[in-house]
Structures are given as structure tokens and as C-alpha cells.
């Protein structure tokens, strides 16, 4: 099998990839598929035709045999990445003594004929900027997890690969003799379109230019329609753009990440497949979109939820699903894959799909609540949807206080998790408000159930010695998810339990200014790095308690992360700023958006 040293023809490229970090990767996508592009111009990760498909390029997990599509400098050096302002169009610029050039990478997305056009295509435009730079182009796809190479067929202006369920074709106006054949001089703009299924059948240069202009315009207009806070504007915009790329528009699913098996920490073994829709994550993501002023994602997710709910009459929802709503997610370890930076294992599928995670019932009520309480969405208040939200609330009341795997998906003995019961309470509480407007005869029953759950939590989930909430009933340990008790309004600024819970979480879980999830053994040891989302939860909790200066001081730590493009992973090493875990992580960008809005003053307060 070819290695990177063989493909690139020099050791510089191989050494660069061996030392690749998540900060070296840019994300492109169009709400149908996504790809990660390294600073040397290599697409090192892309699953086609959708997020949870097998990979076509997977050098991220196997730099020798995983396949990639590289357009970069002849000597393999790394370039400088940036996004075109307020877009998901990635530019990688290369410069040396011979000249300079840049590669523009994007997946087309724009409105055409009244519908969003999002083809399964990756467009790469290479343009000289100065002198006569020398570049090299290598396209080496794989047949999914087998890493076998497809049969290659060369046409007049394209290369096709056979062995996939659909056609995979690279169309270009560069000489085909230069592909995979060493460096050549770049004297004019060149265009490359990698297509899944529907190939390019029209003149390439005007097509790519139109796609670039329309896609750039689409994203810039989308950003203009975003609400943003006075502070942290750039961070919120980039997070919003990244978050949108985690939406699978075809069904309304929202994936946790576009990657699998990126380790939470070096040699930790905590490598999971996140290319699926966690119902919990989707709820938090919808909350972020609401802050941004975007609502179409909620309407699309409603269709996804109605689909998965209809598949289980007893409403035994799984914690996560494929993007098409199926739950066949048996977890498999690929023993012969080396993993990111040599960190095994590589997993496909996720065993958490078999977990009981009771919080999802409350979260689904919360996800749908705006449809019933916001007058702008009255057309969604139908009898079937109202029946569904009522059944979800009843289910939340039934399962609250029972042992489950909880938000952290522990693989040790299950206990009654406080966060799960807290979310169940929130769902039942919001249902009482929904019923008051739409089914008054049921409001009292839901209100009574919410009051009973609240009393249970205050009795069983508060440590009498410390006066703070605890992670599980009758326990003494805290976890960072307890901060959500403040955000959800379970305890407020005037309640000593709220402040004591914040202080206990900080005392027990703070790690060089960042928060771990918890400090107990979850069946795989204890976490060593910080979970990015948890620190953002702390910012939000402090702001809700009126401790704005503290909130902004914690928020300032975002600058410590080595993330030049503003993309965030699941975990961060607080001492080095190096990111770990699946990347980009929707949860982390959701947390940043919520924290930024909470910690920032309002526009009226800054005179705008």
C-alpha cells in the first residue's frame, strides 16, 4: 500500500502529517457531507455521501493507508489557513521563494430554484498569487473501512474510481498527467471538483466560479441573519457557521461531530464514534440556533423526532440515532487501524445507542416547547405534536429517579443520576406551561408531577453537609452537569444551593482554570483533560447568578486554546491548550454560543 512518503515523494510531508494536531484542520461542508482539510492542503477526512457513511479519505486515522486528496506545495510544507470572511469557504495559502498560491476549498451550498442546493461535491480552486509556484496534486481515495483502493479509470478530463455504491469522479482542467505524478508549475487558475454520484457535465471554470460566488454569498447572508452579542462576536460567528455544518438537512438530524475515534487524551482509549444524532446534543444545538435567531433547524428536527418516535409506540427512545433515524449502531473496534497520532482504538458505531439515558425525554420536551409558547410557531401546534410532547413529559415523570447511564454515558454501574432527573423535571415543568395554554384540563396534573420531582431532587440530590447538589442520588461527588440546574431555573440567584453548587463544582473539578466533567472512575478510568463544554456551562451559570465579572474572566480562557480557525474540539489540555477529542464538536460550539450571550452585555447596554 502507498505511504504518504511515497505519495508526496519527500520526507517533509510525512513528518508534517505525523505531527498533525486538530488545530491544523479546517472544516468544510454543506449540511449533506463534510471534510477536514489539513494545513498542507490534504483532505484527510471525508465520509460520503453523508456524515455516517464509510470514509473516502481517512488519513486522519491512518496516515499511511487511510487515503487523502492533497493539493499543496511541491515540498509538502504547511500553508496558512483562514476562512473567507463570514463563510465556510476555507483558504489555504502557500508561499516560498518561487512564488505563492492559495487553495480555496468548499462544498457548494446556496438557494437555487427556491430550494437549497447542496450537492455531494467538494470544490477545490487553486490560484497563483505571485511568481510561478510549484504544486503537487494527489487524489488517493479508499473503499471505506477496508482501506482497499478502488479501480481507477482515466477519462479525457476526469478520473473515476469504481467499487463504491455510486460514481466517484474527479473532474479537472489541470493536465491529468500531473495527478499523482510529482510537482508541476502553476501558471494559471485550476479547478477540481470531486463528485459523488452526479458528475460534472458542464464547463468547469464557469461552474466553479459560480459555485464559489453563490456559496460565499449564501454564507455571508446567513451570518447577516444571525443575532450576535456585543462581545465575542467573531467567536460566535465562527461557532454558528461550524454548528450549521453539523446539521443533516435531508432529515433534520444534527450530528455530535463529523469524526470518529479522535482520542479524549493521549493513550486514554476513550475514542468514540460521534457521527450520529444524539437527541440531547440536538436539544442544546437548537437552543443555540434560537439565540442566533435561526429557527428552521427546529422545524426540521421536529420531523426527525416525529420519525424516530413513530418507530417505538412505547416511546423507548434511544439516546442516539443515525442521520436517517435508524438505530443499528453496534459498536465495532477496527483492530488494524492505528488511529489518530497512533491512538487506538478506532471504533465504528456507538454502544451508547443501547443505553438508557432518561434525560432525553425531558430534553425533547424542552426542544419542542418553543413551538407551543412562541406565537410565531402556531402552525406547528397540531394534535399529533401536542400528543407527542405530552407523552414525552409523562415518560419523563415515569423514569425520573431510576438508574441510568446518564449524560456522561458511564460504563460502570448505573445509579440514579441527578442530571437525568433534573432534565425530567424540566420537561414536566415546561409541559405544565404548554398544557396551560393548549390543554388546560391537563395543566394541574403536570404541575403536580413537576412539584413532586422538584421535592425529590431537593431531598435526594443535595448533600446536607456541603449544601450543594450532587451527581447522583445519595452521593457526595459533583459533576459539571449540575451547573445546568441554574440554567434551567431549578435554583436561582437567591438560592444558596445554587452558589454552593457552583463553588463545589469549581473546587472539585477545576483544572488549571478549566472544568473536568467529573473526577470518579467511570469504568474506563478518570478523565485527565478538561471537557470544553463544561467550562462554558460555568460561564453561563455565573452570569445567571449575577456574577458577570467572574463569567467574563472564565470566558477569556477561550483564547488559551490553540484553535487558529476558531474551531473547537470536545476536550482541551488546559496546560498546553492542545485540543483532543472529536473535532469539531457541536457541543463545544453550542456551549460557546450560550456562554457568549450570557456573559455579554446587551446591545442597549453598550449604546448600540
Residue 575's CB is within 10 A of a number of other CB atoms, namely 13
Alpha-helix residue ranges (DSSP H) falling in 104-250:
204-224, 233-244
Residues contacting 225, CB < 8 A, separation 6+: 293, 294
Angle, nearest 10°, between helix axes 532-544 and 586-599? 20
Q: Which fold has domain 4-224?
A: Beta-galactosidase; Chain A, domain 5 (2.70.98)
SS3 203: coil
Distance CA 556, CA 539 (A): 10
Cβ atoms of 347 and 391 within 8 Å: the answer is no
Q: Which fold has domain 233-606?
A: Glycosyltransferase (1.50.10)
Q: What is the pLDDT of residue 9?
A: 35
What are the strands, taking DSSP E only, across 290-400? 320-321, 332-334, 346-348
Q: What is the pLDDT of residue 534?
A: 98
Cβ atoms of 317 and 279 within 8 Å: the answer is yes
Four-point Cα dihedral 513, 516, 520, 522, nearest 10: -160
Residues spanned by CATH 1.50.10.10 within the chain? 233-606
Four-point Cα dihedral 18, 20, 22, 28, nearest 10: -110
Q: What is the pLDDT of residue 522?
A: 82
- C-alpha cell, 349: 458505531
SS3 86: coil
Alpha-helix residue ranges (DSSP H) falling in 313-417:
359-373, 383-399
SS3 514: strand
Q: What is the pLDDT of residue 497?
A: 98
Beta-ladder partners of 574: none
Residue 162's CB is within 10 A of a number of other CB atoms, namely 11
SS3 percent helix, strand, coil of the chain, rounded to 5, is 40, 20, 40
Cβ atoms of 478 and 470 within 8 Å: the answer is yes
**Regions of the chain where pLDDT drops below 50:** 1-16
Four-point Cα dihedral 481, 538, 487, 595, nearest 10: -120
Among 186, 155, 173, which Cα is nearest to 73's?
186
> Per-residue pLDDT tens for 136-156?
999 999 999 999 999 999 999
Distance CA 105, CA 268 (A): 33
H helix and E strand count, the chain:
15, 30
Residues spanned by CATH 2.70.98 within the chain? 4-224
Residues contacting 524, CB < 8 A, separation 6+: 268, 269, 270, 411
Q: In what order do the strands lie in the sheet with 530-531?
A: 530-531, 571-572, 579-580
For the stretch 403-439, what's the b/e string if a residue is b when 16 or more beta carbons lie within 10 angstroms of its beta carbon? bbbbbbbbeeeebbbbbbbbbbbbbbbbbbbbbeebe
What is this structure's pTM? 0.95
Beta-ladder partners of 172: 192
Q: DSSP secondary-structure letter at 10?
A: S
Distance CA 540, CA 515 (A): 13
> Per-residue pLDDT tens for 331-342?
999 999 999 999
Distance CA 266, CA 272 (A): 14
- C-alpha cell, 498: 445554587
- C-alpha cell, 484: 445546568
Amino acid at each position: 500500500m502507498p505511504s504518504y512518503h511515497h505519495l508526496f515523494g519527500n520526507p517533509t510531508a510525512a513528518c508534517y502529517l505525523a505531527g498533525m494536531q486538530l488545530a491544523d484542520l479546517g472544516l468544510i461542508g454543506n449540511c449533506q457531507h463534510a471534510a477536514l482539510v489539513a494545513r498542507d492542503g490534504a483532505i484527510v477526512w471525508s465520509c460520503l455521501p453523508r456524515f455516517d457513511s464509510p470514509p473516502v479519505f481517512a488519513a486522519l486515522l491512518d496516515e499511511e493507508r487511510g487515503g487523502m486528496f492533497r493539493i499543496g506545495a511541491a515540498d509538502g510544507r504547511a500553508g496558512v489557513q483562514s476562512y473567507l470572511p463570514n463563510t465556510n469557504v476555507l483558504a489555504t495559502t502557500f508561499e516560498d521563494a518561487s512564488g505563492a498560491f492559495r487553495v480555496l476549498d468548499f462544498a457548494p451550498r446556496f438557494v437555487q430554484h427556491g430550494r437549497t442546493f447542496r450537492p455531494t461535491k467538494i470544490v477545490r480552486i487553486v490560484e497563483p498569487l505571485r511568481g510561478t509556484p510549484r504544486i503537487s496534486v494527489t487524489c488517493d481515495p479508499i473503499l471505506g473501512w477496508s482501506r482497499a483502493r478502488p479501480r481507477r479509470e482515466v477519462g479525457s478530463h476526469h478520473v473515476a474510481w469504481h467499487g463504491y455504491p455510486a460514481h466517484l469522479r474527479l473532474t479537472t482542467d489541470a493536465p491529468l498527467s500531473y495527478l499523482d505524478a510529482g510537482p508541476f508549475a502553476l501558471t494559471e487558475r485550476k479547478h477540481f471538483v470531486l463528485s459523488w454520484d452526479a458528475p460534472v457535465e458542464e464547463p468547469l471554470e464557469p461552474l466553479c466560479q459560480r459555485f464559489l460566488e453563490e456559496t460565499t454569498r449564501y454564507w455571508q447572508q446567513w451570518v447577516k441573519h444571525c443575532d450576535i452579542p456585543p462581545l465575542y462576536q467573531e467567536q460566535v460567528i465562527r461557532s454558528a457557521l461550524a454548528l450549521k455544518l453539523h446539521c443533516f438537512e435531508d432529515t433534520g438530524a444534527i450530528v455530535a461531530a463529523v469524526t470518529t475515534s479522535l482520542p479524549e487524551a493521549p493513550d486514554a482509549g476513550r475514542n468514540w464514534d460521534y457521527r450520529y444524532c444524539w437527541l440531547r446534543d440536538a436539544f442544546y444545538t437548537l437552543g443555540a440556533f434560537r439565540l442566533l435567531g435561526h429557527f428552521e433547524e427546529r422545524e426540521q428536527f421536529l420531523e426527525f423526532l416525529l420519525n424516530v418516535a413513530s418507530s417505538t409506540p412505547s416511546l423507548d427512545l434511544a439516546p442516539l440515532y443515525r442521520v436517517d433515524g435508524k438505530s443499528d449502531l453496534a459498536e465495532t473496534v477496527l483492530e488494524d487501524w492505528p488511529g489518530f497520532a497512533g491512538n487506538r482504538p478506532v471504533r465504528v458505531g456507538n454502544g451508547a445507542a443501547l443505553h438508557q439515558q432518561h434525560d432525553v425525554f425531558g430534553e425533547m420536551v424542552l426542544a419542542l416547547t418553543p413551538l407551543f409558547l412562541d406565537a410565531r410557531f402556531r402552525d406547528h401546534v397540531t394534535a399529533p405534536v401536542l400528543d407527542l410532547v405530552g407523552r414525552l413529559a409523562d415518560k419523563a415523570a415515569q423514569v425520573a429517579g431510576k438508574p441510568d447511564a446518564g449524560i456522561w454515558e458511564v460504563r460502570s454501574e448505573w445509579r440514579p443520576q441527578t442530571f437525568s432527573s433534573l432534565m425530567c423535571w424540566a420537561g414536566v415543568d415546561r409541559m405544565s406551561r404548554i398544557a396551560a395554554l393548549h390543554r388546560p384540563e391537563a395543566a394541574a396534573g403536570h404541575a403536580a408531577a413537576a412539584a413532586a420531582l422538584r421535592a425529590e431532587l431537593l431531598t435526594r440530590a443535595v448533600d446536607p453537609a456541603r449544601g450543594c447538589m450532587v451527581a447522583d442520588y445519595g452521593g457526595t461527588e459533583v459533576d459539571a452537569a449540575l451547573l445546568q440546574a441554574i440554567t434551567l431555573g431549578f435554583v436561582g440567584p437567591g438560592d444558596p444551593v445554587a452558589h454552593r453548587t457552583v463553588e463545589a463544582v469549581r473546587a472539585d473539578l477545576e483544572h488549571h482554570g478549566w472544568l473536568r466533567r467529573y473526577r470518579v472512575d467511570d469504568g474506563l478510568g478518570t478523565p485527565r483533560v478538561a471537557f470544553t463544554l463544561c467550562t462554558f456551562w460555568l460561564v453561563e451559570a455565573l452570569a445567571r447568578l449575577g456574577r458577570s465579572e467572574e463569567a467574563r474572566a472564565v470566558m477569556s480562557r477561550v483564547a488559551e486554546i490553540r484553535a487558529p480557525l476558531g474551531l473547537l474540539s470536545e476536550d482541551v489540555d488546559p496546560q498546553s491548550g492542545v485540543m483532543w477529542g472529536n473535532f469539531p464538536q457541536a457541543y463545544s460550539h453550542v456551549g460557546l454560543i450560550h456562554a457568549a450571550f450570557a456573559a455579554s452585555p446587551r446591545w442597549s447596554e453598550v449604546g448600540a
